[in-house]
Structure 1
């Protein structure tokens, strides 16, 4: 696969989707339910930029849409179950939902592997990553079709002190969203604490947590700027939500409707990437204007964070998946820009 427009077509040609083909959905599948988690905010929320562009183009192509924003259809796992039941056709999922079924998707949580978003899009479009994940999802009704960027790559926010090396974490308690976050923090000798996102603002206020790992715009989106004081630009992983569709719904589309959906996916990607380029250029300014100090790290400082994390994944946690992701990334370097 070498282009975004051919991503799903390439999967069909390879037979990966055909292997999971079930009875076609009826004509009323033109009624399309779309769910997201973030705020309906075209300025700060890249997920909504993706969804809005997709829906506008799908609606123009004749699809009847029903939109469920802001997690109104439930938590991550509840929305995933709706897709599995074919009651939800398009869902903006967290990576953790794919990782339940796909070991390859787990490798995407390894920090310091993907270096920038140009490389990230090439990884999606020019390697077998997406095809491999979808093959591992074949026993479900989930089909990965794209990723919506949320701004700059993830870094470390905290309420207390500048952080430029693992030792600076000291006694800070950093909120861990998932087991992957906890592994990263443990690798640095830091203290992780599990706090539901809905309770993060209170945790920062009371000192239960002193920070979190997230994209640069998160404290501005969720009103945490009053407590957060420092951001370390670790560039851990791409910040994205993952566009997942119902296999049965997609497979039930006729050729014309499928082409319309692929065009809508391509339009969503284009709108989201244009937003991401613009917002990344002003993230530092926005954080500093909100009173959050922005710390850029040198290659040597980043290596001090990356080394112990990579050692754990390479040697014990996901050795095969680590090696395969490394091969895909190396192949992009070999091909050139």
Structure 2
């Protein structure tokens, strides 16, 4: 616990997962607001650009060992500890961020997630939105229905996402984010699921020319912290960190309301946009059933998320 004993007096390192763009990156809005709140209240904090301290797995290891204080990370990075968090990735399960927040906070799901992860040295400080609900980007053709997914090979996060693609009639291949541009250029992958801003933020509009606003699930990342660091803070410092989380959450949700203009930016970049009608959206929703039966989450865990939404 030597790290924890000294953590409160050291600089808080915040590892970013996106460019430092307050207009285009909801993740950066969260991280920057968090760091600035700490600094405004007497705690030293510094942002480190994406990749400067390592990849996602390396950052996760550093967090769990108490070597790094805070990291902006992919949603499933804590899934190796406990799979409960995967409820946030169920397709067509949440209708909006308000429902996500209700499940996490009033429904107690953030507390349930942390009951497992903190035992392994990792605290999920927050779930942050990185854009409007995820849709389908690809390099080849307009996708207006499930049938149009045939012939596409999509970049997948993991095997569960490959199963979802198969249910839609497409193929999937796991590709790390760093390798995505090369995969799109060489045809290793024809597209990916992401919120509408992602190709703009990461410069992928040279390859991706089609977007389907399928509104599959809320586009989420997480802010994780070292539990050793968090518990090693003084009461005053911990209160400052908790207040910084609240400020960052508020700024992040307010930022989401500014993102309606992204579609115009995509069109200006040469991306053709498809909007699903009610019948096509229902078809995608019905075809997504295997994601609920994949075994990634138990039926009991899904039922717990359902109850937490309060519907």
Q: Structure 2 length as normaliser, TM-score?
A: 0.93
Q: Which of 257, 262, 270 is 1:291 aligned to?
A: 270
Q: Which of 261, 264, 271 is 1:282 aligned to?
A: 261
CA contact (8 A) 2:211 2:274 kept: yes
SS in 2 for 1:282: helix
Map 1:19-58 onto structure 2 (within 5 A): 25-31=4-10, 32-58=12-38
Matched, 1:105 2:85: yes
CA distance in 2, matches of 1:254, 1:205: 50
CA distance in 1, matches of 2:53, 2:279: 44
Could you tell me which runs of 5 or more consecutive residues in structure 1 were left unpaired when the two chains were aligned.
1-21
Matched, 1:65 2:75: no
CA distance in 1, matches of 2:110, 2:54: 26
Q: Which of 174, 192, 202 is 2:154 aligned to?
A: 174
CA contact (8 A) 2:4 2:66 kept: no
Query: Aligned-residue CA RMSD in angstroms?
Result: 1.8
Q: Which of 295, 309, 313 is 2:288 aligned to?
A: 309
Per the TM alignment, residue 111 of structure 1 is displaced from its structure 2 partner at its CA by: 1.0
> Per-residue CA shift, 1:127-154, capped at 9, x if unaligned?
1211111112142111112122111111
Per the TM alignment, residue 167 of structure 1 is displaced from its structure 2 partner at its CA by: 1.0
Matched, 1:90 2:74: no
Per the TM alignment, residue 168 of structure 1 is displaced from its structure 2 partner at its CA by: 0.5
Q: 1:266 — aligned with what?
A: 246
CA distance in 2, matches of 1:138, 1:161: 44
CA contact (8 A) 1:156 1:214 kept: yes
Q: Structure 1 length as normaliser, TM-score?
A: 0.86
Q: 2:131 — aligned with what?
A: 151
Q: 1:141 — aligned with what?
A: 121
CA contact (8 A) 1:160 1:210 kept: yes
Per the TM alignment, residue 320 of structure 1 is displaced from its structure 2 partner at its CA by: 2.2
Aligned residues: 309
Q: 1:3 — aligned with what?
A: none
CA distance in 1, matches of 2:266, 2:90: 26
Per the TM alignment, residue 27 of structure 1 is displaced from its structure 2 partner at its CA by: 4.5
Per the TM alignment, residue 308 of structure 1 is displaced from its structure 2 partner at its CA by: 3.0
Per the TM alignment, residue 317 of structure 1 is displaced from its structure 2 partner at its CA by: 4.5
Per the TM alignment, residue 64 of structure 1 is displaced from its structure 2 partner at its CA by: 1.6
